[in-house]
């Protein structure tokens, strides 16, 4: 899970490489960042239910190889150009989608010693990869030769090291194909319940919406003031994803205290982070970005743990992989946020009588208002669901 997350997010600082070396515009490079959702979302939905029938290892092992193949295609983009970059991102997305659905379920089932720690372990592993990937690739692309190639070779080497180790992991869900011709629903019944709709689905896109704004948009606002722009971009991505991983133990303690649903805490952090992002857009400075990125990363970490806990409680065992896949698919819709903002900011700024920076600030302020306002109904329904189930919030 760490290795796949590493490959998924090492692309973040590469955006500046493609902007500066290839002259690709901001909307195009953010589209490259987000296009991997085209491979990821279908893979999430299909692989989750497939892992419920075929076993977790039957999905995660090929997912690792597919993620490596995506990095190989991205490396070829140094010679083949933008079409290979878009294709490689889609392939990486498919590998990540396969892994996220079954990997989280597998880690939860392997955590028999501490069942409540399973979601946190899964999120910590992939978050560490998400943060470590851009940190390493940013430094490699900044200081090593062939910046459009070398970071992907690092990931391919990591895949080669980890693939043999994966064979030793025990299967937790033996294959159970069921009756001939039978197929579980693409969207499991648990995903169509009111509890899932309000306690999870209503806020899930904010998970990656927050963190992608942190590492794909905020650095762009200040790169003209930075001497090492690629390394700076990688550092901001590491800070955003790393804070998301680091906050999870504290999130678990807050959940155990039962003061507020974790999703409400995450939405509050999202609203505060969007306010900070709006201020950065209005008054850009390189030192303003790190604390805002960390706050948006904390929102990501809290909401990811909250969602996996809620899914584990809502889902019957036979639907767990499929429902995790639906949750992750909803979270990854947030990857479109930087692309949408880059398209809307220029006209929004012009309508306000200013430039793109004014447009970014206005749009981010609107995002803060939406996050804060949605916390009220989400919190009300989540608290009512907890009372109806006769439980406290999960630790």
Residues 334-362 pLDDT 10s:
988 988 998 999 999 999 998 999 999 99
Tokens 């189930």, residue located: 389
Report, as an integer, the average pLDDT of 317-331. Answer: 82
- C-alpha–C-alpha distance, residues 85 and 105, integer Å: 30
Report, as an integer, the average pLDDT of 166-177. Answer: 76
Query: Is the separation of the CB atoms in 131 and 7 below 8 Å?
Result: no
- How crowded is the C-beta side of 317, counted as CA atoms within 13 Å? 7
Query: Is the separation of the CB atoms in 298 and 342 below 8 Å?
Result: no
- C-alpha–C-alpha distance, residues 335 and 295, integer Å: 17
Range picked from 21-25, 49-53, 382-386 for highest mean pLDDT: 49-53
pLDDT, greater one: 85 or 187: 85
pLDDT at 28 over 50: yes
Average the pLDDT over each of 86-100, 111-125, 273-287, 370-384 and give the range with the smallest value: 111-125
Q: Which residues contact 308 (CB under 8 A, 6 or more apart)?
A: 104, 108, 119, 122, 123, 324, 327
Question: What is the pLDDT at residue 292?
Answer: 97
Give burial (CB, 10 Å; 0-12/13-18/19+) of 82: middle
What does pTM read for this prediction? Answer: 0.82
Query: Is the separation of the CB atoms in 261 and 383 below 8 Å?
Result: yes
User: What does the pLDDT look like over 138-158, one tens digit per residue?
Assistant: 999 999 999 999 999 999 999
pLDDT, greater one: 259 or 331: 331
Report, as an integer, the average pLDDT of 87-99. Answer: 92
- C-alpha–C-alpha distance, residues 120 and 19, integer Å: 36
Domains of the chain: 2-169+185-389 (1.20.1250.20)
Average the pLDDT over each of 130-134, 348-352, 388-392 and give the range with the smallest value: 388-392
- C-alpha–C-alpha distance, residues 356 and 217, integer Å: 12
Give me the helices (H) in 144-246, please: 150-166, 194-196, 206-212, 218-222, 229-246
Percentage of the chain lying above the pLDDT 90 cut:
42
Neighbours of 23 (CB within 10 A): 8
Quote the mean pLDDT of the chain. Answer: 85
pLDDT at 79 over 90: no
């Amino acid at each position: 899970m760490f290795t796949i997350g590493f490959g998924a997010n090492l692309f973040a600082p590469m955006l500046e490489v493609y902007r500066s070396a290839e002259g690709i515009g901001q909307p195009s490079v953010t589209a490259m960042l987000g296009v991997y959702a085209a491979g990821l979302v279908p893979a999430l939905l299909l692989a989750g239910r497939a892992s419920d029938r075929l076993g977790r290892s039957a999905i995660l092992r090929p997912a690792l190889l597919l993620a490596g193949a995506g990095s190989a295609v991205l490396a070829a983009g140094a010679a083949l150009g933008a079409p290979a970059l878009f294709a490689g991102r889609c392939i990486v997305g498919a590998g990540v989608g396969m892994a996220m659905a079954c990997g989280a379920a597998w880690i939860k089932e392997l955590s028999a010693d501490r069942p409540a720690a399973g979601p946190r372990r899964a999120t910590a592993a992939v978050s560490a990869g998400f943060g470590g990937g851009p940190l390493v690739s940013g430094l490699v692309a900044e200081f090593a030769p062939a910046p459009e190639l070398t970071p992907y070779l690092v990931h391919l080497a990591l895949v080669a090291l980890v693939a043999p180790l994966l064979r030793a992991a025990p299967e937790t869900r033996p294959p159970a194909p069921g009756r001939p011709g039978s197929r579980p629903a693409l969207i499991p019944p648990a995903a169509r319940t009111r509890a899932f709709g309000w306690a999870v689905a209503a806020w899930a896109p904010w998970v990656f919406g927050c963190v992608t704004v942190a590492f794909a948009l905020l650095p762009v606002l200040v790169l003209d003031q930075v001497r090492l722009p690629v390394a700076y971009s990688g550092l901001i991505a590491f800070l955003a994803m790393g804070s998301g991983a680091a906050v999870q133990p504290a999130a678990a303690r807050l959940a155990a205290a039962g003061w507020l649903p974790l999703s409400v805490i995450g939405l509050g952090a999202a609203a505060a982070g969007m306010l900070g992002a709006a201020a950065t857009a209005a008054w850009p400075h390189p030192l303003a970005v790190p604390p805002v990125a960390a706050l948006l990363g904390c929102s990501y970490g809290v909401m990811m743990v909250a969602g996996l806990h809620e899914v584990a409680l809502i889902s019957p065992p036979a639907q767990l992989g499929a429902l995790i896949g639906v949750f992750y698919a909803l979270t990854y819709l947030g990857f479109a946020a930087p692309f949408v903002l880059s398209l809307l900011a220029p006209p929004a700024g012009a309508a306000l009588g200013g430039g793109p920076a004014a447009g970014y600030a206005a749009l981010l302020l609107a995002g803060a208002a939406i996050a804060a306002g949605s916390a009220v109904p989400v919190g009300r329904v989540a608290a009512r669901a907890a009372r109806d189930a006769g439980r406290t919030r999960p630790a």
